[in-house]
Structure 1
Amino acid sequence: MLIFNLSKITKMVLEFEKPIADLEQKLQEMKDLAKGRNIDLTSDIESLEEKILALKKETFQNLTRWQRVQLSRHADRPYALDYIYEITNDFIELHGDRTVADDKAMVGGLGDIDGRSVMFIGQQKGRNTKQRQMRNFGMANPEGYRKALRLMKMAEKFGKPIVTLIDTPGAFPGLEAEERGQGEAIARNLKEMFMLKVPVICIIIGEGASGGALGIAIGDRVMMLENSWYSVISPENCSTILWRSWDYKEQAAESLKLTAVDMKGNGLIDDIIPEPLGGAHRDMKKMALNLKEALVKALKELDKVKPEKRIEQRIDKFCSMGVVVE
């Protein structure tokens, strides 16, 4: 099953993409003209294609932090289930926290990668209004985090590695979520994930905001897609707190240093997974292949380490974050 439409061309154009989109439109018009009137415009078409490629490289190699945040939220960007269905065989989704409900913002289940069963857990957003309401915009309630922990414990029981795909603007901040123990649910996940005996790989595929992301992000390997972000707060909320306005979100993004390159430079993640030129939504199959290759490589490395040693390394890794040694 593949829920991402691989054949569609994105209709959403971000502000910094408009010069590229204009040239691509001219290219398509030129191709239509050549085909409709049987005119040989091969050299002109090739020249324009080279110009578009050069402009793409220049644009996407010099993105600001805010522009990467915009790409991470692109309406056509692949979500957790898109990747899961693309890289696995016979994925079986598992439901419910066995206490309150089945949180649709948090998905999980067993999938086969090259003959090996892996427990996948991730936050899922929706593509239209109805889906977004059902998925609560990727913001999980306490039962979502409890479902995630239940699946992690199940994977540990049967010796299956765990892969989490993180893409959330944060845990659901509603009063009812707090009443049902949102903070406790996330805190328990942090504690329990440190002690899991199976390999744990965490990948930020889009937005990685606050405790909502961290609640499923304690792992032996933490990776980010090239155009994802990871921070204690979103640029808009940071701007609202500091300047009482969303107008300074770009300045906030620069100050937060929330991109994959920033996170890698600060030692907060282990690896960056490259995206196709233009973003993950431009070539979902290639992006899924890149993700799968990084995942398989990490699993092979972690298989060589004994469970007790993995747990020790996992604890040391997170305990060393933010510590200054003189």
Structure 2
Amino acid sequence: MLLEFEKPIADLEEKLQDMLQLAQTSNVDVSKTVKSLQTKIEELKIETFQNLTRWQRVQLSRHPDRPYTLDYIYELTDDFIEIHGDRNVKDDKAMVGGFGTIDGQSVMLIGQQKGRNTKQRQMRNFGMANPEGYRKALRLMKMAEKFNKPIVCLIDTPGAFPGLEAEERGQGEAIARNIKEMFMLKVPVICIIIGEGASGGAIGIGIGDRVLMMENTWYSVISPESCSSILWRSWEYKEQAAEALKLTATDMMGHKLIDGIIKEPLGGAHTDMKAAALELKKQILKDIKALSKVSVEGRISQRIEKFSDMGAYAS
């Protein structure tokens, strides 16, 4: 699938392939043309992806080929053991988690998981967790705390599931409890938005010592479409809504709502998943090393202080 702003690049890449094929099937020297096209493609990529609008970054965060939580987990570890269920209702397939080892460092990995095709999307509920998903996540966090293992949360959700049955089982309470408990966890907690970071669905596993965003992701209280439908009674103004929400990684960093931005390969994480995962791994290991040097009391105090300093309020 090509996004609208990717088409000019794809057209040049198609011409490049034609030239390379011509070079293989004939004696025509096209080396200069090939080199020129390669240069143009690289320049166009840089120009395009350095000047993306906020809505275009939202589109990139939803790219169907973009790596999901389990893609990163299996790339980062070779011994991941998934743990299921909240020991109360059922196993929520929209929330996954378990122990894994990253370069010798044992960690608890937790995150929302989307599906690639219709059947998987239904099974994963489009990455929208129910209350049992957040309760499973909290159970795994407490398990990590028990065994003194760092926690890494990979956030990628259009929001917590808003269905009637989710509200009946206490969606708000489950998310609120996670927020409260995550503030007091005794182990290092790193939260990374790897795709969409919407509303309470994201914040339900988003309280950490380090909160990071990958370059082409978004983080906001509401999606551009929902914001547009509330303000203008139509989804037609989603681009304006995205601009007003200021939801990109750069915006969040400017407002001091996150601690850092993880670079993606030129063109987005979906163009080179291994390179994107490598950057993710470097950042995770770097932060775990730094956070492990801080005392438990110091980490908890800094965590509370960091989130308390966000926004403006009157007592």
Q: Is TM more than 0.5 here?
A: yes
Residue 85 of structure 2 corresponds to 96
CA distance in 1: counterparts of 2:298 and 2:107, whole angstroms: 21
2:142 to 153, 168, 178: 153
Answering whether residue 261 of structure 2 is matched by residue 272 of structure 1, we say yes
Residue 249 of structure 1 corresponds to 238
Q: Provide the secondary structure at the position in 2 that maps to 1:90.
A: coil
Give how far 1:39 is off: 2.6
Residue 74 of structure 2 corresponds to 85
Name the % identity: 77
Question: Over aligned residue pairs, what C-alpha RMSD do you find?
Answer: 0.9
Which aligned pairs between 1:157-236 and structure 2 lie closer than 5 A? Answer: 157-236=146-225
CA distance in 1: counterparts of 2:110 and 2:28, whole angstroms: 53
Give how far 1:40 is off: 2.2
Residue 36 of structure 2 corresponds to 47
Q: Provide the secondary structure at the position in 2 that maps to 1:140.
A: coil
CA distance in 2: counterparts of 1:51 and 1:28, whole angstroms: 14
Answering whether residue 129 of structure 2 is matched by residue 137 of structure 1, we say no
Matched letter for residue 271 of structure 2: R
Give how far 1:38 is off: 3.7
Residue 6 of structure 1 corresponds to none
Residue 32 of structure 1 corresponds to 21
Matched letter for residue 287 of structure 1: A
Matched letter for residue 180 of structure 2: K
Matched letter for residue 89 of structure 2: V
2:294 to 294, 302, 305: 305
Question: TM-score scaled to structure 2, two decimals?
Answer: 0.99
Distance 1:89 1:187, change over 3 A: same
Give how far 1:43 is off: 1.2
CA distance in 2: counterparts of 1:193 and 1:20, whole angstroms: 43
Residue 107 of structure 1 corresponds to 96
Residue 284 of structure 2 corresponds to 295
Which aligned pairs between 1:4-23 and structure 2 lie closer than 5 A? Answer: 12-23=1-12
Which consecutive residues of structure 2, in runs of 5 or more, have no partner in the other structure? Answer: none
Give how far 1:323 is off: 2.7
Between the two proteins, the alignment pairs up a number of residues equal to: 314
CA distance in 1: counterparts of 2:231 and 2:160, whole angstroms: 21
Give how far 1:51 is off: 0.3
Residue 8 of structure 1 corresponds to none
Residue 4 of structure 1 corresponds to none
Q: Provide the secondary structure at the position in 2 that maps to 1:49.
A: helix
Give how far 1:156 is off: 0.2
CA distance in 2: counterparts of 1:106 and 1:34, whole angstroms: 49
Give how far 1:324 is off: 7.0
Which consecutive residues of structure 1, in runs of 5 or more, have no partner in the other structure? Answer: 1-11
Residue 62 of structure 2 corresponds to 73
CA distance in 2: counterparts of 1:226 and 1:318, whole angstroms: 22
2:115 to 126, 132, 140: 126
Matched letter for residue 119 of structure 2: K
Q: Report Cα offsets for 1:44-88 as digits up to 9, x if no partner.
A: 101100000000000000000000000000000000000011011
Distance 1:239 1:90, change over 3 A: same
CA distance in 2: counterparts of 1:299 and 1:81, whole angstroms: 20
CA distance in 1: counterparts of 2:303 and 2:176, whole angstroms: 17
Answering whether residue 312 of structure 2 is matched by residue 323 of structure 1, we say yes
Give how far 1:114 is off: 1.3
Matched letter for residue 85 of structure 1: Y
CA distance in 2: counterparts of 1:190 and 1:67, whole angstroms: 30
CA distance in 2: counterparts of 1:57 and 1:272, whole angstroms: 18
